[in-house]
Structure 1
Amino acid sequence: MAPEITGFTRRRVTVADGVALTVATGGSGSPVVLLHGFPQTHLMWRHVAADLAADHTVICPDLRGYGGSDKPADVDGQTYSKRTMAADVVALARELGHDRFALAGHDRGALVAIRAGLDHPDVVTHLASLDVLPTLDMWDVLHGTSAAVGFHLYLMAQPPGLPEQLISGAADAFFGHFLDSWTTDPDALPADVRAEYLKASREAIPSIVADYRASAAIDVEHDEADRRAGNLLRMPVSVLQQDWGAALGFDAAARWRAWAPRLTHRTVSCGHFMAEEAPAEVVKTLRDLLAG
């Protein structure tokens, strides 16, 4: 039996024509939506969600293209844009009865959350990002040999065909590389959880690649348009980030501050999968944000 978030109920919710998301919900109170990262599913929030559910309605979807959610073919390069995926999240919350909500995302989910905050500022009341930079800044800071850490970004940015074929040929090795190398505490990813992530990723290779490909194309265009227009994240924003800014030679907090004037930025010492490695720290950050 696949692992679940204790006390949560899973359901399917239609969010767009031909697209339904699998979502786990629990608790009661003001709504908080939690978006997972790569190569994971909503299960990554199992510790954080269970805590927040004591006094919040917690909504944990699988993003389109991931986990148990639908995986439509990318026919126009926009099917997996963060704009499209953010619209999914807003539609999901509305279908569950919430016109406004707080939003937190990790990794890919954080990119969706950022886009939701820019596109739907009247809907997203608070925003938290775990261990990413906004898309435009991410590409800007990767250069030289230090960019090798992001080799997968460049691989999956290539035209359709080769990336999918290469990853399919060694899927568990590819996705397992990130699960193993991005964590400082292997016990944070128990065997059953790791197996669930690998299975979900094997079944979603075309859509995962399409998600990343969008981040090298249409997502950059959307960020550039917002930068030119002076659009900002005007809600309270909290960011937790590893200190990879120092390693790559940039000031992460300054990068974030250019997008989010009401910013709280903290560097943490755990690995990338911080909701699983340091859930108490993530919970405290989210509770402090929601209390603001």
Structure 2
Amino acid sequence: MNAAELMAGLSPHRVSVDDGVELHAWVGGQGPALLLVHGHPQTSVIWHRLVPTLARHFTLVVPDLRGYGDSCKPAGDADHANYSKRRMARDLLRLMQQLGHERFSVLAHDRGARVAHRLAMDHGQAVQRLVLLDIAPTLSMYEQTNQDFARAYWHWFFLIQPAPLPERLIEADAAAYVRDVMGGRSAGLAPFDPRALEEYTRCLALPGAAHGMCEDYRASAGIDLEHERQDRDQGRRMAMPLLVLWGEQGVVHRCFQPLQEWQRLADDVRGQPLPCGHYIAEEAPQALLDVALPFLQGKSA
């Protein structure tokens, strides 16, 4: 019931997007299509504080990524391509097409923003406007890793260890993983609705969830980097308007220069920090709406 309460006004759907893979998604609202994509170790309900406002302006599609939430959790493969951002982006494209949306805008956080980056690179004709929250490009972050970043983003290096070590440790106490990872950020656990925390814990404890999450990260440390290097070598860029936002109290702000990094990959980029940490949609929903909503409506310069 927690998810239904948090996502009031939207209806649950289950959509086939790949051989044997179905995504769970919340759908509702009115207006042009807007895809909202969550990050780690969370689910689609991260957007619950934005949904009432956004649903007045957009038809919202709010999925759980493959491997997360109530979506399917296929087994990983040898090169982790089953959880590459290319495969996960194709999931989202097919989800939107199945729901009748050939073109749409995207608002995405964390892991979901990495999938959205690949979606915009591979299927730019489908993406009208793009908002990425609290990330720099994956390749840039790995290439610029230093001790400060490695200590703060320790999970990047834990989750990519060979199966089943990280899976076994997460499965032993999924609630502790959620609590310690999310609570260890700048704002602690105070910003989160207890019902949302319960939902994140419920979903991470589902069979296959820890494996899917680890495979997402293993892909980003391997095949996803290959794809980003190919983009760089071929001079591929994103042409749609791009807004990048990050928390001024977070690690991305401290360790990287996100606006400059995205300007290397896109033609039309603007961005700024917001007064919060990593979990922008839950820590500073109004500040996010104040900047992202005019952009998504095409009103910002």
TM bin, normalised by shorter chain, reads over 0.9
Aligned twin of 1:2 = 2
Are 2:254 and 1:239 equivalent residues in the alignment?
A: no
Taking the aligned partners of 2:287 and 2:141, their CA distance within structure 1 comes to 24
Deviation at 1:186, TM superposition (A): 3.6
Are 2:289 and 1:283 equivalent residues in the alignment?
A: yes
CA contact (8 A) 1:238 1:285 kept: no
CA contact (8 A) 1:121 1:233 kept: yes
Distance 1:281-1:145 versus aligned 2 partners, 3 A rule: closer
Partner of 1:60, secondary structure, is strand
Taking the aligned partners of 2:186 and 2:38, their CA distance within structure 1 comes to 16
Where does structure 1 differ by over 6 angstroms across 4 or more consecutive aligned residues? Answer: none
Taking the aligned partners of 2:239 and 2:104, their CA distance within structure 1 comes to 15
Deviation at 1:196, TM superposition (A): 1.0
Task: Name the amino acid aligned to 1:265.
Answer: G
Taking the aligned partners of 1:158 and 1:187, their CA distance within structure 2 comes to 31
Aligned twin of 2:174 = 171
Aligned twin of 2:269 = 263
Aligned twin of 1:216 = 221
Give the alignment's TM-score, normalised by structure 1.
0.95
> RMSD of aligned C-alpha atoms?
1.5
Stretches of structure 1 that go unaligned for 5 or more consecutive residues are none
Aligned twin of 1:273 = 279
Taking the aligned partners of 2:99 and 2:149, their CA distance within structure 1 comes to 43
Aligned twin of 1:83 = 86
Deviation at 1:188, TM superposition (A): 2.5
Distance 1:214-1:205 versus aligned 2 partners, 3 A rule: same
Task: Name the amino acid aligned to 2:230.
Answer: A
Taking the aligned partners of 2:68 and 2:180, their CA distance within structure 1 comes to 18
Task: Name the amino acid aligned to 1:2.
Answer: N
Q: C-alpha offsets along residues 137-196 of structure 1, whole Å, 9 cap, x if unaligned?
A: 121222134421111101111222222122223332222112212252644312221111
**What pairs up with 1:191-210 in 2 under 5 angstroms?**
191-203=194-206, 204-210=209-215
Task: Name the amino acid aligned to 1:224.
Answer: R
Give the alignment's TM-score, normalised by structure 2.
0.92
Residue identity (%): 37
How many residue pairs match? The answer is: 291
Aligned twin of 1:189 = 192
Aligned twin of 2:258 = 252
Task: Name the amino acid aligned to 2:67.
Answer: G
The range that moved more, 278-287 or 16-25, is 278-287
Q: C-alpha offsets along residues 216-238 of structure 1, whole Å, 9 cap, x if unaligned?
A: 01110000000111111110000
Partner of 2:73, secondary structure, is coil
